[in-house]
Amino acid sequence: MIVTEEKTNGFSALFVKEERIDAHNSAELKNYILHMIEQGKVNIIVQLEHVRFVDSSGLGALLSGFKHAEAKSGRLALSNLQPQVLSMFELTRLNRVFEIQTDLQDFF
């Protein structure tokens, strides 16, 4: 999985540079996020501009990160979702769980 990480205004911005988050790479994303949280990076914004498809395992990986960040008094939020990815969050009502912004800068 291709990801990059930047520190921005007290947040760790995680840029996912894959077209899909599915059963083939969701475990890697989940482990990456959990490792970030273990390192004390508990405020994470996952930037999904390049992601065009997310399946249930991808949603599960992000939800796991959300719960772990929350348990450490942090937060995991999402930005730059493509319309088809946003529709998956709306269909599963996870848009009510995650803070979702249209742009990374909307968090600051």
Helix/strand/coil (H/E/C) assignment for every residue in the chain: CCEEEEEECCEEEEEECCCEECCCCHHHHHHHHHHHHHCCCCEEEEECCCCCEECHHHHHHHHHHHHHHHHCCCEEEEECCCHHHHHHHHHCCHHHCCCEECCHHHHC
> In which domain, by residue range, is 67 found?
3-107
pLDDT in tens, 9-67: 889 999 999 999 999 999 999 999 999 999 999 999 999 999 999 999 999 999 999 99
In whole angstroms, what is the distance from residue 15 CA to residue 6 CA? 8
- The count of structural domains within the chain is 1
CATH number at residue 77: 3.30.750.24
Amino acid found at 33 = I
pLDDT in tens, 67-99: 999 999 999 999 999 999 999 999 999 999 999
